[in-house]
Structure 1
């Protein structure tokens, strides 16, 4: 169920009303919330529910077994089995076709007649990558904190199936969510903030992301050969803004919806395109996934240990690319980000040991020039790698890169309004937080009837500015 649909506009107030009616008893409240979560996810397809229940039961049982186990060896066996089962679930539903095709290629080596393996049609369960990682985090945290009591079955169920985050994050942790289940969150102190975030998410998705997709990005990435070099370069910038507005817009909606329910959901974006190096970019982009990869993959690999840091960074980002899908373009995207991060760390290490360099960087004018150049390099590096992320396949990505490098290629142009839309997407990363804070303060001074009118009026304008049909959020495919 997409947040930007009539169905959700009907579903959500009903859920809030039922939660309000059940607030007198915590157990009934939790049951009502779980029913809402299940209905929300079942709307995407009843066939997906058994897998969701499997992940819930797997992690609940793991928590119970870890707590009751007496030896370190048995705990290691339990968590290893849990991790392997999660990997198998992801591999089957997300990488099945890739694995079968790879096996066919291997078995066909040296044969005149290629080997064909049986292939079955598998529908990818929406949100699988997100709720499996969320479930894994619960089990791994239980393993790392052996004295921590396991959560009840309904608490684990609510954590993994929480409908504002189940489809595309943000990826929550147990310590962020479980303490909020200690009371009935039926009236939020952050109503105005929640509505403001929802309006922010709608504007980013409906107005900016949808316009860029419809008027330049989609067509250029499908048929790059018929467009001019200027148009292709603009489309690359356009996709950089589109994916930010689409994904951060979804996160704003999820966080805002959670706020209306009385839940605090962690921030997922923090002006990533203002970052002046790749390390800072990944501290600001898809923050909850970046933190997850750091805590559960990068640090266990050895983290910043001397000699291993660069390899660990490349492995972590490569797996981050694999998390998005088995297509070669995702693997290239993740691998190159790993190379970029390793290079940034290497340069920072070298510069930190050079007294002259540190002295120059403390001079205000040189510091400003350094920031501008570093920002431009970071933004263009990230935008360049989005080509692999968005292209239909690697040959298409290489064609786009070729037409940019061999500049001056003639072809079709693009609507001039694309430029101010791209600039708006960049500008909101600078002024967005200030607008959000100012709007919230302004709303809190108004009577609730006027507040409602203002919110409805702005939402109506945003929806009117958007296209007739809203495309699904980009990260729903992951």
Structure 2
């Protein structure tokens, strides 16, 4: 009996690719509580023990998410830590460049192998018209995030924006810190490493603000995003089988799903950091309120857009090389941003179109500023921006699918139906969905849809309503929560947990950005 108990316990600590450790899982809540108890006891007694405890737990967290690939992030930590030291010590510009080249080759080489090998080989095979069998390469969770984070550190050292840390444990802490490890925010070393130089100050205000963010993030992710995803996934898996209205609803549904999923993760990550005494910054600022595409990227995935600005756009020349170069730089930056999200042409198209939108807005800005800033102009600019973003989400979401094709074959005067399977790439799936929306949408179908999908529609509306609350009102609600009696805080948390349990799926739904 004891042997069975030990076996069951050990199974929770073993890597299971079907059940990665994520913030909204019961196991994480239990294991984080135990981690936090130890952390609370040691964080004021010495920086070394605190850092060692956090790094150990972070590597365990990553092991539970990606198995043996936790060694990969450890290798990246050692490599970039040592190379940064050599860049600082180098006496000549040529030596500094050589060390930088080695760091970039190592980091982007690993990322390129795991993320882009099949994409490159597949496209080469198309050009030379040869058969291609995909290589069995498993993409480590969050590799794009921690690669960008590590590369930014090395570049900041090379550009002499900061001095390299002399403490490897601090660097490992920065790169592996579990709240932001697998899906951001992409934290800059210049923002985070100084926080590790002193014992963190943990206040009631920070802890309760962090708890509020965790509750909000949990509600967004596990109540709204996961439930809404069920219908969205059905439609996107074969849009041609559904009418235009159903496709349109799936597109609006995905718009709030990806926001609640990703911003929900960011809320929880930032909240966990605050509880431990660390500030991870802000990653979302109500992006669907944007009235132009430039403003959208100031509000959406802020840590990525600022990374692209600082490490791609500005080094390309930014807006310092004339208007034409500015437009080209914007386009190229977002093209790279699209490719960062995934190894598929639909991501390249998605990024390129956002880059084109940024360039057009930059070009038209002097004329747009002459338009009166009244309610009609605000409404029109918001509507255009919102639906431009929604249109491109279709390409972002549309995966390759396999559909059944029925053909009628006549042999000896007898008609026979033959069912075969056909592969449709994500880019084509997106255009199928767009064609259905514009050619087959009947709004009278809403009554039937409402009867069948009332809870789905209700949660979509709740998601947009939460997004629509003003920044000031959000701050007031958060402050009210902080001032509440502890019992009331606990009741709110338990209420959200109960909602999660009521609406949960049979399987744990990973965060969308885990795939990047």
Same fold (TM over 0.5): yes
Query: Is the contact made by 2:212 and 2:271 (CA closer than 8 Å) also made in structure 1?
Result: yes
1:202 partnered with 2:257? no
1:211 partnered with 2:211? no
Q: Which runs of 5+ in 2 are unaligned?
A: 1-20, 400-425
Query: Is the contact made by 1:159 and 1:177 (CA closer than 8 Å) also made in structure 2?
Result: yes
Residue-by-residue CA offset, 1:281-322 (whole Å, 9 max, x unaligned): 000000000000000001111111312011111111111110
Change (3 A) 1:146 1:279: closer
Q: Greater CA deviation, 451-460 or 170-179?
A: 451-460
Query: Is the contact made by 1:403 and 1:409 (CA closer than 8 Å) also made in structure 2?
Result: no
Q: Greater CA deviation, 330-339 or 459-468?
A: 459-468
Secondary structure (helix, strand or coil) at the match of 1:317 reads helix
Secondary structure (helix, strand or coil) at the match of 1:164 reads helix
1:441 deviates by 2.9
Partner of residue 419, structure 1: 457
Query: Is the contact made by 1:66 and 1:146 (CA closer than 8 Å) also made in structure 2?
Result: no
Residue-by-residue CA offset, 1:371-412 (whole Å, 9 max, x unaligned): 100000000000000000111211111100111121447999
Change (3 A) 1:42 1:464: closer
1:453 partnered with 2:496? no
Q: Distance in 1 between matches of 2:161 and 2:347?
A: 36
1:260 partnered with 2:293? no
1:345 partnered with 2:378? no
Q: Greater CA deviation, 14-23 or 266-275?
A: 14-23
Secondary structure (helix, strand or coil) at the match of 1:314 reads helix
Partner of residue 270, structure 1: 285
Q: Distance in 2 between matches of 1:173 and 1:399?
A: 40
Query: Is the contact made by 1:188 and 1:261 (CA closer than 8 Å) also made in structure 2?
Result: no
1:8 deviates by 0.5
Partner of residue 19, structure 1: 39
1:103-182 alignment runs, 5 A limit: 103-106=124-127, 108-109=128-129, 114=130, 120-145=135-160, 148-182=163-197
4+ residue segments displaced more than 6 Å:
409-412
Q: Distance in 1 between matches of 2:253 and 2:153?
A: 37
1:83 deviates by 1.5
1:443 deviates by 3.6
1:88 partnered with 2:88? no
Change (3 A) 1:90 1:443: same
Q: Greater CA deviation, 80-89 or 183-192?
A: 183-192
TM norm structure 1: 0.91
Indicate which of 383, 390, 404 corresponds to 2:437: 404
TM norm structure 2: 0.85
1:429 deviates by 1.8
Partner of residue 376, structure 2: 369
Indicate which of 331, 337, 346 corresponds to 2:348: 331
Q: Distance in 2 between matches of 1:350 and 1:339?
A: 18
Indicate which of 22, 44, 65 corresponds to 1:2: 22
Q: Distance in 2 between matches of 1:434 and 1:212?
A: 28
1:280 deviates by 0.2
Secondary structure (helix, strand or coil) at the match of 2:279 reads coil
Partner of residue 417, structure 2: none
Query: Is the contact made by 1:278 and 1:340 (CA closer than 8 Å) also made in structure 2?
Result: yes
Partner of residue 396, structure 2: 389
1:37 deviates by 1.0
Residue-by-residue CA offset, 1:99-148 (whole Å, 9 max, x unaligned): 22223334x35xxxx365x8641111111000000101111111111772
Query: Is the contact made by 1:232 and 1:404 (CA closer than 8 Å) also made in structure 2?
Result: yes
Q: Distance in 1 between matches of 2:23 and 2:441?
A: 42
Query: Is the contact made by 2:293 and 2:358 (CA closer than 8 Å) also made in structure 1?
Result: yes
1:100 partnered with 2:121? yes
1:466 partnered with 2:499? no
Change (3 A) 1:115 1:429: closer
Secondary structure (helix, strand or coil) at the match of 2:94 reads helix
Secondary structure (helix, strand or coil) at the match of 1:361 reads coil
Partner of residue 55, structure 2: 34
Q: Distance in 2 between matches of 1:150 and 1:461?
A: 44
Query: Is the contact made by 1:188 and 1:259 (CA closer than 8 Å) also made in structure 2?
Result: no
Compare relative contact order (CA 8 Å, sep 6+) and give the higher one, 1 or 2.
1
Query: Is the contact made by 2:156 and 2:162 (CA closer than 8 Å) also made in structure 1?
Result: no
Partner of residue 236, structure 1: 251
1:79 partnered with 2:100? yes
Partner of residue 310, structure 2: 295
Query: Is the contact made by 1:94 and 1:326 (CA closer than 8 Å) also made in structure 2?
Result: yes
Q: Distance in 2 between matches of 1:466 and 1:276?
A: 34
Q: Distance in 1 between matches of 2:76 and 2:432?
A: 41
Q: Alignment RMSD, CA only?
A: 2.1
